[in-house]
């Protein structure tokens, strides 16, 4: 019997097109991401050129290893396990604060996906260039004996957890080692995850709140086990996006995953937030709930807002796309992250 995230996300990859036989999917954006399949050869042709330093080597200390405007396939070893990530250094450092430190965003793929695949489907490089942040696509590990099972392990260690991946340790090591060459800003470290990657984003808000200022979740759920052990040492702000037509990780929860309403109650209570009805909205297919620090001004979604939940009618298990105040959901998310 599968328990924890394996039960909640057992079909995440297949339903989203991430594990279809005969090829790998790429993205076409319209109202929402539509996943199609192309041959491996065509995907290789379409993918951006990658610089590829061998091992950890000089990349840990040499900024020139990460060229502006290029994506670097970076490898590192964490506790004897080989790990990898794609690292994109923006064209310009417009996101600086005068300190010379750069903000950073981790984009976490879904179950069964690879970092390259996810970077094509959810290409945030233009967003990174406009805002001057380092963009990292880390890659999960496979489950032993399970094909196409690259995943994130957001669950506490237990005898029922089939995954032995220490992904919290991997993300810590990844940020620590990239800090040298890229000078990352510890006060402006963010993550956004899709599906199983969204589960991992919730785990970061629970177990690494002192490190992550904010996280975003697309079509992900929070595990009951994560919620039960969630005692953050800090206040990570959250933006949650979920489609009402999601048949893989439905809004109602199930099989170890909490419902969207339960997740909302959990985080608003944990962070001692009060709902701001005046900032809620129902615009076409989009509903929004906003929660902020009690007693703070309620005139805008400002730095005192700790939780925003978007319920998008008609969209399924996808990277949700819609406009918010004439901005794309991705642009709005970065603006939410950086309100201070």
Q: What is the pLDDT of residues 307-319, one digit of tens each?
A: 999 999 999 999 9
Rounded to whole angstroms, what are the CA distances from 41 to 47, 125, 149? 10, 23, 21
Band (18; pLDDT cuts 50, 70, 90): very low
Torsion angle, alpha carbons of 15, 21, 24, 28, to 10: -50
Q: What is the distance between the alpha carbons of residues 158 and 4, in angstroms, rounded to a whole number?
A: 10
Across 96-100, 187-191, 333-337, least confident range:
96-100
* pLDDT of 261: 98
pLDDT digits (tens, 9 = 90+) for 82-133: 999 999 999 877 655 557 899 999 999 999 999 999 999 999 999 999 999 9
- List CB contacts of 14: < 8 A, sequence separation 6 or more: 20, 112
Where do the domains of the chain lie, and which CATH numbers do they carry?
A: 5-337 (3.40.50.1820)
How far is it, in rounded angstroms, from Cα 21 to Cα 19? 6
Dihedral sign for Cα atoms in the order 130, 83, 203, 18: positive
pLDDT (0 to 100) of residue 280: 81
251: left (phi over 0), alpha (psi -120 to 50) or beta: alpha
User: Which of 49-58, 72-81, 185-194, 223-232 is the most confident on average?
Assistant: 185-194
At 10 the pLDDT is 52
Angle, helix 167-182 to helix 196-207, in steps of 10 degrees: 80
Mean pLDDT of 222-228: 93
Which has more pLDDT, 58 or 124? Answer: 124
Residue 22 pLDDT more than 60? no
pTM above 0.85, yes or no: no
Write the secondary structure of the chain as one string of H (helix), E (strand) and C (coil): CCCCHHHHCCCHHHHCCCCCCCCEEEEEECCCEEEEEECHHHHHHHCCCEECCCCCHHHHCCHHHCCCCCEEEEEEEECCEEEEEEEECCCCCCCCCCCCCEEEEEEECCCCCCHHHHHHHCCCHHHHHHHCCEEEEECCECCCCCCCCCECCCCCCCCCCCCCCCHHHHHHHHHHHHHHHHCEEEEEEEEEEECHHHHHHHHHHHHCCCCCCEEEEECCCCEHHHHHCCCCCCCCEEEEEEECCCCCCCCCCECCECCHHHHHHHHHHHCCEEECHHHCEEECCEEEEEEEECCCCCCCCCCCEEEEEEEECCCCCCCCCCEECCEEHHHHHHHHHCCC
Q: pLDDT tier at 255 (50, 70, 90 boundaries)?
A: confident
pLDDT tens for 141-187 read 998 889 899 999 997 666 677 788 899 999 999 999 999 999 999 99
pLDDT at 279: 82
pLDDT of residue 324: 84
């Amino acid at each position: 019997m599968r328990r924890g995230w394996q039960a909640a996300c057992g079909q995440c990859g297949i339903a989203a097109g991430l594990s279809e036989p005969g090829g790998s999917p790429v993205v076409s954006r319209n109202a929402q991401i539509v996943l199609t399949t192309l041959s491996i050869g065509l995907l290789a042709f379409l993918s951006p050129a990658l610089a590829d330093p061998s091992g950890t080597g000089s990349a840990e200390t040499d900024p020139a290893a990460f060229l502006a405007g290029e994506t670097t396939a970076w490898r590192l070893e964490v506790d004897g396990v080989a790990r990898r990530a794609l690292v994109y250094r923006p064209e310009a450092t417009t996101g600086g604060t005068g300190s010379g430190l750069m903000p950073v965003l981790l984009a976490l793929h879904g179950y069964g996906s690879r970092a390259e695949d996810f970077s094509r489907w959810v290409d945030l490089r233009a967003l990174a260039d406009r805002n001057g942040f380092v963009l990292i696509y880390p890659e999960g590990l496979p489950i032993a004996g399970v094909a196409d099972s690259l995943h994130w392990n957001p669950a506490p260690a237990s005898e029922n957890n089939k995954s032995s991946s220490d992904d919290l340790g991997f993300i810590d090591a990844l940020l620590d080692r990239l800090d040298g060459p890229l000078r990352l800003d510890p006060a402006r470290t963010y993550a956004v995850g899709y599906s199983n990657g969204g589960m991992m984003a919730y785990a970061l808000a629970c177990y690494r709140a002192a490190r992550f200022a904010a996280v975003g979740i697309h079509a992900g759920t929070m595990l009951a086990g994560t919620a039960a052990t969630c005692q953050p040492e800090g206040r990570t702000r959250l933006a949650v996006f979920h489609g009402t037509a999601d048949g893989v990780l439905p809004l109602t929860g199930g099989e170890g995953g909490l419902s969207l309403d339960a997740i909302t109650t959990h985080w608003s209570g944990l962070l001692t937030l009060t709902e701001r009805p005046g900032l809620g909205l129902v615009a076409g297919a989009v509903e929004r709930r906003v929660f902020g620090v009690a007693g703070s001004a309620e005139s805008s979604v400002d730095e005192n807002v700790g939780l925003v939940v978007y319920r998008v009618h008609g969209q399924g298990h996808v990277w949700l796309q819609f406009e918010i105040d004439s901005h794309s959901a991705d642009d709005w998310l970065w603006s939410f992250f950086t309100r201070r």
